[in-house]
């Protein structure tokens, strides 16, 4: 049985006439407002259903000064993290009866700015910024100052809130878990490949890693580290460079799964056996992490939860129930051991 589609020829006047009520009553029933008897409510809904009438969301948005969409800004839809995040955000937005307008900035800040100019406050009345969306924080603050609700999910520095409502996770804890796993497996010669500058977006993950390595009295120098960009290709190139310079490493910490998958390929191309000759651990747990051979040992962060809480926070903010200082935390990261790590022989 197929669902009934809407009939664009039907109007609210038709529904009111057929149901024998005023246009205002139909409007109240469909928007769940005002006082209407149960009997009238049912008659209006049945009439609207029979006529295939659906309120025009664009028109309603204008009347209510409310847009029917939320905007999601992300930096790169072909990075597998973002489709997983966007899917969860999409489903959560639907629960709030909003559609999700996805803007892919594609690492071009101008594109994000252009999108915000056209969308924020008109087509969408709230903006969710996924981390790494290439927008200067000052532009987000300017948007906020103009009264446009903005939420950042994910903010990786829970201790240094951005002055914009945000969803965070324990990025240092994730880095510590990954490092502890390597230390417990007996590794002492450990390299690091970080998908951002040292104090950039993966700075918290790196700081957690360094804390554990230092506590274990493992000597580590800048020769063991590479700071690069957060992509498969950059992970591949950084690992080729690092492993050529330091073939004695027995393990590599990578700050994110996508570059870590590139590291696995580089190791394979250079003749390193993973995990026999080299262990690789990273952070996130995107779908391809479990599809690679060997499977990638990684610290899972709660991607869907971060998206859902981001949407919820945006809705709360629009309702005046959150402030610029609101910080929402998510579940603790968890180590997922797969085939890319082994005890040092």
Please, what is the minimum distance in Å from the beta carbon of residue 65 to its own copies? 10
Q: How far is CA 41 from CA 15, 31, 67, 294, in A?
A: 12, 11, 25, 59
CB of 272 to its own copies, least distance (A): 12
Minimal distance, residue 150 CB to its own copies, in Å? 12
Taking the complex as a whole, the smallest distance from the CB of residue 221 to its own copies amounts, in Å, to 30
Q: Cα–Cα distance between 232 and 194 in angstroms, integer?
A: 12
Residue closer to its own copies by CB (options 168, 256) is: 256
CB of 67 to its own copies, least distance (A): 6
CB of 336 to its own copies, least distance (A): 17
Q: 341 - beta bridge partners?
A: none
Applying CB under 8 A, the residues found at the interface with its own copies are 2-3, 5-8, 54, 56-59, 61-62, 67-69, 77-78, 80, 82-84, 86-87, 90-91, 94, 99-104, 106, 110-111, 113-123, 136, 138-139, 142-143, 146-148, 232, 261-262, 264-265, 268, 287-288, 291, 293
Task: Report the residue number, 57 or 327, with the smaller CB distance to its own copies.
Answer: 57
Residue 294 CA neighbour count, 13 Å, CB half = 23
Burial annotation 103-122 (CB, 10 A radius, 16+ → b, else e) = bbbeeeeebbbebbeebbbe
The whole-angstrom separation of Cα 182 and Cα 252 is 9
3-state DSSP assignment of residue 27: helix
User: H or E segment at 87?
Assistant: helix 81-95
* Contact status, residue 196 vs residue 240, Cβ threshold 8 Å: no
282 in Cβ contact with 296 (< 8 Å): yes
Q: CA-CA distance, 93 to 106, in Å (whole number)?
A: 23
H/E stretch holding 235:
helix 232-245
- State both tokens at 124: 């969408």
Q: Nearest approach, Cβ of 186 to its own copies (angstroms)? A: 27
What's the closest the beta carbon of residue 100 comes to its own copies, in angstroms?
7
- Adjacent-strand bridge partners of 168: 155, 329
Q: Of 38 and 138, which has the nearer Cβ to its own copies?
A: 138
- Which of 262, 302 has the CB closer to its own copies? 262
When the beta carbons of 87 and 335 are compared against its own copies, the nearer one is 87
| Rg of the chain in Å (alpha carbons) | 25
Nearer to its own copies, 119 or 278 (CB): 119
Tell me how far apart the alpha carbons of residues 167 and 318 are, in angstroms, rounded to a whole number: 16
Nearest residue (CB) to its own copies, 103 versus 177: 103
Query: Which of 171, 340 has the CB closer to its own copies?
Result: 340
């Amino acid at each position: 049985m197929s669902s009934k589609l809407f009939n664009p020829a039907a109007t609210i006047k038709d529904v009111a006439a057929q149901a024998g009520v005023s246009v205002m009553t139909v409007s109240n029933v469909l928007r769940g407002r005002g006082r209407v008897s149960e009997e009238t409510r049912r008659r209006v809904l049945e009439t609207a259903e029979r006529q295939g009438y659906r309120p025009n969301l664009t028109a309603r948005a204008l009347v209510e000064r409310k847009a029917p969409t939320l905007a999601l800004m992300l930096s790169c839809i072909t990075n597998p993290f973002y489709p997983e995040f966007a899917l969860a955000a999409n489903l959560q937005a639907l629960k709030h009866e909003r559609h999700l307008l996805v803007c892919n900035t594609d690492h071009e800040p101008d594109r994000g700015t252009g999108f915000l100019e056209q969308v924020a406050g008109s087509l969408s009345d709230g903006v969710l910024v996924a981390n790494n969306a290439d927008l200067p924080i000052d532009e987000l603050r300017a948007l906020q100052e103009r009264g446009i609700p903005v939420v950042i999910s994910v903010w990786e520095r829970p201790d240094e809130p951005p002055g914009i409502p945000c969803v965070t996770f324990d990025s240092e804890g994730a880095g510590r878990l990954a490092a502890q796993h390597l230390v417990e497996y007996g590794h002492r010669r450990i390299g690091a490949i970080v998908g951002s500058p040292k104090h950039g977006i993966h700075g918290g993950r790196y700081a957690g890693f360094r804390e554990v390595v230092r506590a274990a009295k493992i000597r580590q120098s800048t020769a063991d580290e590479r700071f690069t960009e957060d992509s498969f290709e950059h992970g591949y190139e950084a690992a080729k460079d690092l492993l050529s310079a330091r073939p004695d490493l027995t393990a590599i910490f990578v700050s994110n799964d996508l570059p870590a998958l590139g590291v696995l390929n580089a190791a394979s191309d250079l003749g390193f056996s993973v995990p026999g000759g080299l262990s690789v651990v990273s952070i996130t747990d995107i779908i391809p992490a479990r599809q690679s051979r060997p499977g990638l040992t990684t610290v899972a962060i709660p991607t869907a939860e971060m998206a859902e809480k981001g949407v919820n926070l945006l809705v709360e903010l629009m309702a005046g129930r959150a402030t610029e200082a609101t910080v929402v935390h998510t579940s603790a990261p968890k180590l997922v051991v797969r085939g890319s790590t082994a005890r040092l022989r």
